[in-house]
A and B are shown apart, each in its own frame.
Chain A
């Protein structure tokens, strides 16, 4: 029995592989060299790309959680769980790549600036999601609680996003209002030879971020497919046991 998911998964897998190869090539050979930081700046493509995907996964998880509470279904629970799982991994990539960049740029691995605070709160909140899931045996209850928690977690992330304006930021702004972006350039954190900044943006938003989004989609499809296989196997097992007992 082939479902639509079975057909779409291999396509997404190959698309992801192809895009990753193109993406790596563009990051290392096409993207411009930054004046102050040199090659270290190329971390940005991984850093920003995975940060965007992490945000998208948590939004998807929130949506799936709400859908699950309105009408419980195995699929929405799997979407939420897989999205949080993938989101935590991309958040980890963002934190580690940022830290590696910060050491040469700021001469420290970590500062409690707003964006860094936000991402560490996000990471902690969503890692706890798995603690909750693992601690509940009853399956219906586990899915229901996970859906509730995903909603609460999102409220926290939104409020953290609001509250961190209290803190002073030294994180460079490459997306956002012109004044802030200009300030980022003035701080010397992103400085390209004339005309090359457009190339940086092309690699970042035209290639790297879409690649990471396709990786997410492929990963999610594989996770869904795996969940359905597990369900099918469990159902088949139950049938075999029933047959043996009554046969």
Chain B
């Protein structure tokens, strides 16, 4: 990577961008994160349908319609933990994180870089899963407001996830630990995002007054978790 002693604000973003590019290059050669996330999430769509029984197998049933946003969030969260696990565990296993930390760069830039690449992977997965939900549940998930909320919630989820998986990847039984830590932390995000998405799936678009509060919580979650990660990440990776 052509990063020569970066300094100043442009240097900071240079590091962030370099880390995103590094992760994308590694993924292009192995496809190990995206393939697992995609196959898992498509399996989840099918399993959830079967889980509802006969009602779920009919995409026009009221039950399938009401349950679809919840299933979408469950799928995104669970597939997300798989991707986050791989993203940091690979760094640990190859000791590439140690090499990264030897570089004289700001730890916050490493954090934002990891959030950037993991967000891109999760958004790519969603680009396949959301159409799958449109097809299998016959719901207008393609509405721009719905996509916007999914985008915002993904950023917050990944921002929390990189913090937690950076810790859990240094622990015993790391694969199992991540969901136990990350899912409870994400509950306010899920609750708000799912409420807002359900509102926008209704045939009649909701009043702004009805959805502004959940959307505000999602944005507040993004800002708070990114700030916490920005300020605390060097405690996570310091030796």
Instruction: Return the contact of A131 from the options B163, B181, B187, B221 (Cβ within 8 A).
Output: B181
Q: Is the CB of B180 within 8 A of A145?
A: no
* Cβ distance A88 to chain B, nearest Cβ, rounded Å: 12
Q: Is the CB of A145 within 8 A of B167?
A: yes
* Cβ distance A159 to chain B, nearest Cβ, rounded Å: 4
* Cβ distance A98 to chain B, nearest Cβ, rounded Å: 19
Given A135-B171, A144-B235, A145-B236, also A163-B191 (CB < 8 A): yes
- In this assembly, does B128 line the interface, its C-beta being within 8 Å of a C-beta of chain A? no
- In this assembly, does A160 line the interface, its C-beta being within 8 Å of a C-beta of chain B? yes
Q: Is the CB of B181 within 8 A of A166?
A: no
Instruction: Count residues of chain A with CB under 8 A from any CB of chain B.
Output: 29
Give chain A's interface secondary structure class.
helix
- Contact bitstring B182-220, A, C-beta under 8 A = 1, else 0: 011111110110010000000000000000011001001
Instruction: Return the contact of B185 from the options A131, A147, A152 (Cβ within 8 A).
Output: A152
> Cα distance A117–B184 when bound, in Å?
12
Instruction: Return the contact of A125 from the options B173, B185, B228, B235 (Cβ within 8 A).
Output: B185
> Cα distance A225–B192 when bound, in Å?
43
Q: Is the CB of B235 within 8 A of A69?
A: yes
Select from chain B the residue with minimum beta-carbon distance to A145: B167
Instruction: Return the contact of A152 from the options B163, B177, B217 (Cβ within 8 A).
Output: B163
Q: Is the CB of B168 within 8 A of A132?
A: yes
Q: Is the CB of A149 within 8 A of B181?
A: yes
Q: Is the CB of B177 within 8 A of A121?
A: no
Contacts of A159 in B (CB 8 A): 188-189, 217, 220-221, 224
- In this assembly, does A148 line the interface, its C-beta being within 8 Å of a C-beta of chain B? yes
- In this assembly, does A19 line the interface, its C-beta being within 8 Å of a C-beta of chain B? no
Q: Is the CB of B192 within 8 A of A163?
A: yes
Contacts of B163 in A (CB 8 A): 148, 152
Q: Is the CB of B191 within 8 A of A141?
A: no
- Contact bitstring A42-85, B, C-beta under 8 A = 1, else 0: 00000000000000000000000000010000000000000000
Contacts of B174 in A (CB 8 A): 135
> Cα distance A97–B175 when bound, in Å?
35
- In this assembly, does B36 line the interface, its C-beta being within 8 Å of a C-beta of chain A? no
> Cα distance A160–B183 when bound, in Å?
13
- In this assembly, does A164 line the interface, its C-beta being within 8 Å of a C-beta of chain B? yes
> Cα distance A131–B195 when bound, in Å?
30
- In this assembly, does B172 line the interface, its C-beta being within 8 Å of a C-beta of chain A? yes
- In this assembly, does B123 line the interface, its C-beta being within 8 Å of a C-beta of chain A? no
- In this assembly, does A103 line the interface, its C-beta being within 8 Å of a C-beta of chain B? no
> Cα distance A160–B220 when bound, in Å?
11
- Contact bitstring A150-168, B, C-beta under 8 A = 1, else 0: 0111011001101111100
- In this assembly, does B47 line the interface, its C-beta being within 8 Å of a C-beta of chain A? no
> Cα distance A135–B160 when bound, in Å?
19
- In this assembly, does B170 line the interface, its C-beta being within 8 Å of a C-beta of chain A? yes
Tell me the chain B residues, 136-184 only, with Cβ under 8 Å from chain A: 160, 163-164, 167-168, 170-174, 177, 180-181, 183-184
Select from chain A the residue with minimum beta-carbon distance to B194: A166
* Cβ distance B169 to chain A, nearest Cβ, rounded Å: 11
Q: Is the CB of B167 within 8 A of A149?
A: yes
- In this assembly, does B232 line the interface, its C-beta being within 8 Å of a C-beta of chain A? yes
Q: Which 10 A-B pairs have the closest CB atoms?
A: A135-B171, A159-B188, A124-B184, A125-B184, A160-B188, A163-B217, A163-B188, A136-B171, A145-B167, A135-B172
Residues of chain B at the chain A interface (Cβ within 8 Å): 160, 163-164, 167-168, 170-174, 177, 180-181, 183-189, 191-192, 195, 213-214, 217, 220-221, 224-225, 228, 232, 235-236, 238
